[in-house]
Amino acid sequence: MIYFIDIMLIALSAALINNFVLYYFVGICPFVGVSRKVEMALGMGFAVTFVISIAAFLSWSITTMVLIPGAPVSSFIAGFFLPAEAAANIDLTILCYIVYIFSIASSVQFVEMYVRKFFPILYRSFGVFLPLITTNCAILFACLTIMSHVVGVDNPEDAWDLGRAIALAFFGGIGFTIAIVIMSGIREELELCDVPEPFRDAAITLVIGGILAIAFMGFTGVDSGIRKAVMPKPEIQAADSQLNADAFVYVDMKGQEGRVRIP
């Protein structure tokens, strides 16, 4: 039950609260470049979601099996060359960026072959965009976030499992799709407006993106609010008894308390 809530909160956070485009600024190039027509934006969003899920699966697997200290596959192979002590602690995390880029490039290749075979019309309408997804920051960003929750944690118990990793990646892609579709809808309407010439195309898109980002800021704190509402009550009551009357207490994703004074 707690696991399901955790997954749901990760999903909500990745899709809406910490939206990949409007909060973390990854995937800006397609956001500004591809978002002219809604169908195009939808197609791009789904392609990115698909690729990001595959890439996250690959990078989580490789990170846990090969890269982290004491990983099974690398210790097994190192066992042939190094003494047992050194082999059990072998740490390949320095290679993580190179490995992630490889896994992303191969995911894109795989998706391209699949789309070309089964959806040829969609493939032709994509043109150059599909290979361009390789350099989409959003995918590498998802892999890096997963890495920070697997490699960067102090307590091995807190390391993310595959379910959380895929949830983050998939719903991050969904959030990207939401943002890019909203932007494309707005831009379609903008075709009929009289935008001042210096602002046409890119600058006005960024200003609109800023206003969208302000709108999405309204989601801040939803995940900690939900977490507070569903956490076992004794923890919250203990926290409540310590707080000032006019401070708002929340418990964030890591289970730490924070206090915000609302003026």
Residue numbers at the binding site for another protein (CB under 8 A): 22-29, 32, 94, 97-98, 101-102, 105, 131, 134-137, 140-141, 144-145, 148, 196-199, 202-211, 213-214, 217
- Distance separating alpha carbons of residues 137 and 183, to the nearest angstrom: 18
Token pair for 104: 């992303």
Smallest distance, another protein to C-beta of residue 224, A? 18
Smallest distance, another protein to C-beta of residue 22, A? 6
Smallest distance, another protein to C-beta of residue 121, A? 25
Smallest distance, another protein to C-beta of residue 73, A? 21
Nearer to another protein, 217 or 247 (CB): 217
**Degrees (nearest 5) of the Cα angle 161, 107, 100?**
60
Nearer to another protein, 22 or 40 (CB): 22
* Count of alpha carbons within 13 angstroms of residue 116, beta-carbon side: 10
At position 211, the amino acid (one-letter code) is: I
Nearer to another protein, 5 or 206 (CB): 206
Smallest distance, another protein to C-beta of residue 220, A? 10
- Distance separating alpha carbons of residues 103 and 41, to the nearest angstrom: 24
Nearer to another protein, 28 or 48 (CB): 28
Nearer to another protein, 94 or 121 (CB): 94
Nearer to another protein, 50 or 141 (CB): 141
Smallest distance, another protein to C-beta of residue 261, A? 15
At position 249, the amino acid (one-letter code) is: V
Nearer to another protein, 22 or 115 (CB): 22
- Distance separating alpha carbons of residues 52 and 208, to the nearest angstrom: 26
Smallest distance, another protein to C-beta of residue 160, A? 15
